[in-house]
Structure 1
Amino acid sequence: MKNIKILPAFIVDDDPFWTEVLKQILQKIGFTKIHTFEDGQSCLKNIHLNPALVFLDYQMENSNGLDILQEVKGYYPGIEVIFCTALENLEVAIAAMEFGSVEYLLKTTVTEELVTDLVSNFQSSQVA
């Protein structure tokens, strides 16, 4: 089983407070290569780093999360993308899942335990 915690994790969000909260959660559960981006284009310019996980916001000043999701999945379909947004919108959630997001999380419900469980699920589904 591959340890995805040694691979890069991306946080793509223009909210510096939320980015720091999520970064601290990832560090606490063992991620060491965490890259943060304020917009989708910066994420895409660095996609060659082959992240295991991408936490992606929907509403960013210069980016639409659904567009970025499609480009990330076009680069490599195996990247686990987790939509993590403040927007509670069923249509956007359905579109995110259709485009390949493995989860649609509301920022208000994210906990360390939830992120730990997600990572454990991803790791157990990886083939060595």
Structure 2
Amino acid sequence: METNSQNLKFFIVDDDRFCASVYEQYLKNHSYEDIICFSSGEECLDELHQKPDVIFLDHNMEDLNGFEVLKKIKRFDPNIYVIMVSAQENIDTAINALKYGAFDYLVKDANVCEKMTETIDKILKIREEMSQNKLKGFRKFFSILF
């Protein structure tokens, strides 16, 4: 299980440097090493070629609204897990985030970091199941061939 966590690449996108560094430190304390912080949506979009697995995306940023960034990330690669993080506990914002393809919606509160690791655990479980299903698919395929 530990080895699986090492190969996740994270982007943290937040124009609040303090928030971004708190998240980064928290992830590093949970032995995630591959983390890049961006202070704007534009910067994040310019670096998508680095193929992040998970993006924590602040909803309310100066340059590009989080939804715009989310849509562009999903157009670039629908398989990136985008977790929208917002200071507002607004049900419409949450619903729209999910509608535009966010994997989860977290409210910036005292427990936001714990919620991040819970979400990462969910992603790891999904990835694990997907890779096992691929193996099952290969096995079926080979049993037909031989």
Same fold (TM over 0.5): yes
Whole-angstrom CA distance in 2 between matches of 1:99 and 1:109: 26
Please state whether the residue corresponding to 1:61 is helix, strand or coil: coil
Whether the aligned pair in 1 keeps the contact of 2:40 and 2:63 (CA below 8 Å) is yes
Shift of 1:85: 1.2
Per mean C-alpha deviation after superposition, the further-off stretch among 112-121 and 61-70 is: 112-121
Q: Structure 1 segments of 4 or more deviating over 4 A?
A: none
Shift of 1:46: 0.2
Shift of 1:110: 3.2
Aligned to 2:25: 24
Whole-angstrom CA distance in 2 between matches of 1:111 and 1:99: 21
Cα 1:125/1:65, change in 2 over 3 Å? same
Please state whether the residue corresponding to 2:105 is helix, strand or coil: strand
Please give the per-residue CA displacement for 1:32-65, whole angstroms capped at 9, x wherever unaligned: 1101111101000000111110000111111100
Whole-angstrom CA distance in 2 between matches of 1:69 and 1:83: 8
**Rg (Cα) greater in structure:** 2
Normalised by the length of structure 1, the TM-score is 0.91
Whole-angstrom CA distance in 2 between matches of 1:119 and 1:102: 10
Please give the per-residue CA displacement for 1:58-89, whole angstroms capped at 9, x wherever unaligned: 11111100000001011111111101110222
Normalised by the length of structure 2, the TM-score is 0.81
Aligned to 1:89: 90
Shift of 1:111: 4.2
Aligned to 1:99: 100
* Higher normalized helix content (fraction of residues): 2
* Higher normalized strand content (fraction of residues): 1
How many residue pairs end up in the alignment? 128
Please state whether the residue corresponding to 1:3 is helix, strand or coil: helix
Aligned to 1:10: 11
Matches within 5 A, 1:26-45: 26-45=27-46
